[in-house]
Amino acid sequence: MSKKALTIYKASAGSGKTFMLTRHYLTLALETEKNYTHILAITFTRKATAEMRQRIVDELRLLSSNISQSEHAKYISKELDISLEELQIRSQKLLSSILHDYSNFSITTIDQFFQRIIRSLARELGLPAGYRIEMDEKKILSRAVEIMLDKTSDDEELFNLFLEYVKSEVIDENRSHIFHNAIIEFVEKILREDLKSAFIKIGDKEFKNIVQTYQKTLQTQFYTFENELKRRTNIFEERLRHYNFELSDLKNGTRAKYLYNAVSNGFKFKTDDLKKLFDTDIDEEKDKFLKKDFLKEIGSGYDSLNQIFTYDCQYFTDNYPRYYFAKNAHRNLWHILFFANIWYEMNQIKQNENLFVIGDSPVLLSQIIDKNDTSFIFEKIANRFNHFLIDEFQDTSTLQWDNLRPFVANSMAQFDPQQQKGSVNNLIVGDVKQAIYRFRNGNWELLNEQVDKELSNLGIDNQVLSHNWRSSKTIIDFNNTAFNILRKKLPLEYFSNVPVKYRNDLDSLYKDYEQQYPHKTEKQGYVQVVALEKDEYRETTVNTVVSQVLEMLNSGVQQGDIAILVRKAEHGQIIAEALLSRSSDITKHNLQVAMSDVLSVDKSIAINAIINTLKYLSNPKEGYYIWIAAWNVAKTLGTDTKNFFCQTTQKLFPSEFFDSIEDLKKSTIYDAVIKIIEIFKLNTNKDEIPFLSRFLNFITQYLENSSSDQKTFLKYWEDESSNVKIPSPSTSNAIQILTIHKSKGLEFKHVILPFVDWRIVNSNKELVWVKDQINDTKFPVSAPFNKNAEFSTYKDFLYDEYFNLVVDSLNIIYVAFTRAKTSLSVYTTQKPATNTVGEWIINMFNEQDKWQGIIDCDDKSNFLKYTFGDNKLLYEASDTTEETGNIIDSLTVDTDISVSVRNSSNFYPKDEDTELSGIEYGTVMHRIMEQITTLLSLDKAVDKIAATGVLSRNEIVEISKKIKDAISQPQVSEWFSEDSKIYNEHVLISPDGKLLRPDRIVETSDGKRILIDYKFTHEQSDDHINQVHKYAKTLEKAGKKIDSAYLWYMIQNNIVKVIGN
């Protein structure tokens, strides 16, 4: 086979694409001594980059020291035409070179590659000297949203835009109750590459002017249509009256009735009306708009009336498509203007802080490439790379490929098959069936056909990796049948006139669906697809999944072998809470649940109630915050929000809040949050308990190195909130609950898929982005996604978007179904709604003759259950053993929670050597101790307290000496060792739902776990001992057994052992 300049691997799930990437990287790198410096491997996440680097280094170690164990050795030896001995020598040299020249080991994300180019082109892009790279665009976006919201109270135009958002995105559709986060999500949804490109090209100020001008143009267009139709309707109505008839006399079901009635009723056209009006195959007799008696009465006058109507109907069908677009695009322009204001604030932040957001690089780079000959770019980056290996290509965006294409094309053009021994020069790897990141501008059409069209003249070798090395034969056979049926039978019927080409496109997209089982010995598995009763479907699904998981655990299946994949994070949260509510099973199995991205703290309504209350306390003039806080509180407590904005804040909040405002303002951030939780009773919603616990832990960790000032904390939260998650157990032996998107690239022995019933299209939520070619706008505009849009000028865009939505859902199913190694359990609903994946799943079993396995139906032939394979494999005991972790963050959620924290007003006796009162002394000592990790951190902790002004100079010296003497004694040195892992004031949740905060937990270097609780009383108490036992019991239930525990009475420096020998 002849060598080609570019090889494209279409790599289905489990087909070993990373294996092949590693193989071809090593083959290229080992061909000549420094060739690795001319190879660029591109992945799409930093995690994938790290894994790829590690895999290559590990393989080089194997080739260098134990070559017979390498799966790549014989292939590379043959490709390079060298002996295994020579290969081993080269591998040793390459490994040494890479480890000593790691910066030239170029495996990177696509953003990092673009960043490298941007740095070379900083002057051409007008970037200021010394600019800083910001990797997380969401941080800038979050701050910009905050600034914009602050300005709404003084800017009427901005306030009106915000009201449009509230009406459209929150109130009308009830899609969110966390305004700040919801706005960020909304902006991310519309932040398309082409829109961002338009903003950057046009500029902030000019953009608003262009949009406002366009707004007037659209308004003129739809007003012209409406006024003309009104005029024509009036003429027709006058003519009717000439014959003593009214519009109400028009016969129902006729086009004239539909047209003139709709005009008279404010241009409200129903979809069925439009179908009739646009129908070209009309029965003229049935469409006569007057009854027979009236026709006799009017005689030949009907012909003149019908001629008027015919002209009017023709005018309507000629102009309505443009009218519908103009009317709705005009209505939706607030999307663009709303974002324009946020984009302006984002730019101000970037300019003021000299930042460059890495997410802007594809747009900026594309502008440079558009304006310059590509040789200019090659010259600027020294034309260093000769080989490009691109992974996960189905998730590449159009702009990213536009920027990469010149480099790949240049490498292909210079390819000389006679000079290169290896068969691969450039490599693209991907799978259109796993393209699930379209919302991040991913464009699977690039891999499907566009690259072939653009670069085929330079030589492309397309190959399909069809063997599945991951799954059992049972899983492979099931998926082969399922996707063969779905690609051919999937209904594309949401719209009436979807072109046939989309059916062909779908078939083509999945042409490589079939996978082969590569092993000589067939490994069996088990698949079950269950349709649950529609009544109480959600509760039934949760109970069924929990019961299955517990039955598997009882049979010996390891927790780490079970993955529950969900479409929506909220479903994962529901299942996690249901599992963690089974207290007896938690104890029996040491139940651990790893929730990955499922539980993000900044999504919590209770946490947003707290944050918005703190913002109001910090800036009372911004009344906006108290309204949003009230909304959050109402949603947390399940209070009716009807007529919410008609009430005063005094009615929305308890009087205790307004009585406590001044005290809250003076409180530390931690004390203020505790008080807010108590006042609003946020802890009475048990679903919010894990979020409150994690938030309090986050504040505690923050206070170890930062000020307790509320405003300072809010600034920190603004930057870090999106990264704060409910922590997963550190042990690998935990049940995994994660979204399907996060599961991509992973594999699990047993996969459970609940709630496989989501809608393909949510017409209230979806938008169609359209380029208005008539008005030649420089930016895309949004138009509604609904059935009336079939009769608009943008119907082709509509069909494209619909097809993409179908592909999105099909691909999500594909990714989910192909994660399983041994068993796959799918749960959907009986009698699913139309236009849902539940309908797809149920209908595919109508093709009964194509299925292996057993299909069960009720007496009315309604699908109930499908099983295939040996169900014993679902409950087969695992061989894996549990790994012990060292994180204390495990949560036990059982009952309602009441905040139980140490109150700073507890009685502490006075120390005779200080000027502080007993209460103040105890409070100050405790706050210093909770910030100390090692002896070295003592001075910083004391300085932080001293900065508040509560200590005199003598008191600072005295307290520092007392604590230093205490923590320097040999008995406690291990508790403050730099080799130990320290958890200060770590919040736990007890089995009875109480918040517990042991003062100090120490994990020593030799694996011991020690608990210490400080006391500042002279008297010892059984209550103190009982409290320590409760801490230890809670930790043990979470799988963190305490080896020893102590009460430390700091005033007397008396240490009492409570647990341990």
Which DSSP string do the residues of 94-129 spell out, in sequence order?
A: HHHHHHHSGGG--EEEHHHHHHHHHHHTHHHHTPPT
Percent of the chain with pLDDT over 70: 88
3-state secondary structure of 572: helix
State the pLDDT at residue 882.
Answer: 40
Mean pLDDT of the 1044-1057 span: 89
Mean pLDDT of the 154-176 span: 68
- The CA distance from 1016 to 909, in Å, is 7
What are residue 813's phi and psi, to 5 degrees? -60, -45
Nearest Cα residue to 702 out of 673, 676, 679, 731: 673
**Among 376-380, 744-748, 749-753, which stretch is predicted with the lowest mean pLDDT?**
376-380
50 and 164 inside one domain: no
Res. 897: pLDDT tops 50: no
922 and 1049 inside one domain: yes
805 and 762 inside one domain: yes
HSE-CB at 821 with a 13 A cutoff on CA atoms is: 11
pLDDT band at 453 (very low <50, low <70, confident <90, very high): very high
Residue 504 lies in a domain: no
Residue 495 lies in a domain: no
Helices 605-618/710-720 angle, 10° precision: 140
pLDDT band at 905 (very low <50, low <70, confident <90, very high): very low
State the pLDDT at residue 137.
Answer: 81
- The CA distance from 878 to 864, in Å, is 30
Domain boundary (420, 442, 465) is at 465
- The CA distance from 448 to 535, in Å, is 42
Residue 839 lies in a domain: yes
Residue 801 lies in a domain: yes
Q: Which two tokens stand for residue 555?
A: 């049979």
Nearest Cα residue to 25 out of 62, 61, 60: 60
Mean pLDDT of the 870-874 span: 92
Mean pLDDT of the 307-335 span: 94
Higher pLDDT, 650 or 785: 785
Residue 868 lies in a domain: yes
Residue 788 lies in a domain: yes
Residue whose entry in the numeric block shows the structure tokens 């026709």 = 295
Res. 238: pLDDT tops 90: yes
Count of domains for the chain = 5
Residue 344 lies in a domain: no
118 and 142 inside one domain: no
State the pLDDT at residue 122.
Answer: 73
Q: What is the pLDDT of residues 569-580, one digit of tens each?
A: 889 988 988 887
Q: What is the pLDDT of residues 629-650, one digit of tens each?
A: 888 888 888 877 666 656 666 6
User: What are the contacts of 259-263 at 24+ separation with CB within 8 A?
Assistant: 259/309, 259/312, 259/313, 259/316, 260/233, 260/236, 263/229, 263/230, 263/233
Res. 160: pLDDT tops 90: no
State the pLDDT at residue 110.
Answer: 87
Domain boundary (875, 903, 926) is at 875
Domain boundary (668, 702, 724) is at 724
183 and 117 inside one domain: no
Q: What does DSSP assign to residue 884?
A: P
Average pLDDT, the chain: 84
Q: Judge whether 475 and 820 are in contact, CB under 8 Å.
A: yes
861 and 735 inside one domain: yes
Nearest Cα residue to 8 out of 326, 515, 447, 305: 447
80 and 165 inside one domain: no
Q: Which two tokens stand for residue 793?
A: 């000028």
Q: What is the pLDDT of residues 94-151, one digit of tens each?
A: 999 988 888 789 999 888 888 888 777 777 667 776 777 777 788 888 888 888 888 8
- The CA distance from 789 to 496, in Å, is 11
Res. 171: pLDDT tops 80: no
**Structural domain of 53:** 6-127+363-465
Percent of the chain with pLDDT over 90: 43
313-345 exposure pattern, b = at least 16 Cβ within 10 A, e = fewer: beebbebbbbbbbbbbbbbbbbbbbbbbbbbbb
- The CA distance from 488 to 6, in Å, is 31
Res. 894: pLDDT tops 50: no
State the pLDDT at residue 343.
Answer: 87
Q: Which two tokens stand for residue 487?
A: 């690609």
Q: Which helix (H) or strand (E) holds 553?
A: helix 537-554
Q: What is the CATH number of the domain that holds 830?
A: 3.40.50
Mean pLDDT of the 482-507 span: 91
620 and 585 inside one domain: no
State the pLDDT at residue 24.
Answer: 95
Res. 950: pLDDT tops 60: no
657 and 742 inside one domain: no
Higher pLDDT, 986 or 63: 63
Higher pLDDT, 75 or 700: 75
Distance of CA 564 to the CA centre of its chain: 17
Residue 100 lies in a domain: yes
Res. 227: pLDDT tops 50: yes
- The CA distance from 213 to 908, in Å, is 70
Written as one string, the DSSP assignment of 210-266 is HHHHHHHHHHHHHHHHHHHHHHHHHHHHHHHHHTT--GGGSPTTSHHHHHHHHHHTT
Planar angle of CA 742, 745, 746, nearest 5 degrees: 80
Q: What is the CATH number of the domain that holds 401?
A: 3.40.50.300
812 and 766 inside one domain: yes
Res. 908: pLDDT tops 90: no
Q: What does DSSP assign to residue 819?
A: T
Residue whose entry in the numeric block shows the structure tokens 């997209």 = 509
58 and 102 inside one domain: yes
Higher pLDDT, 620 or 951: 620
pTM of the model: 0.76
State the pLDDT at residue 176.
Answer: 40
Q: What is the CATH number of the domain that holds 962?
A: 3.90.320.10
Bridge-based pairing state of the strands 781-784 and 767-770: antiparallel
H helices present in 681-759, as ranges: 689-703, 710-720, 740-743
State the pLDDT at residue 138.
Answer: 81
Give 873's contacts (C-beta < 8 A, 6+ positions apart): 524, 525, 526, 822, 823
447 and 582 inside one domain: no
Report the first-to-last Cα separation within the chain, whole angstroms.
74
Higher pLDDT, 574 or 428: 428
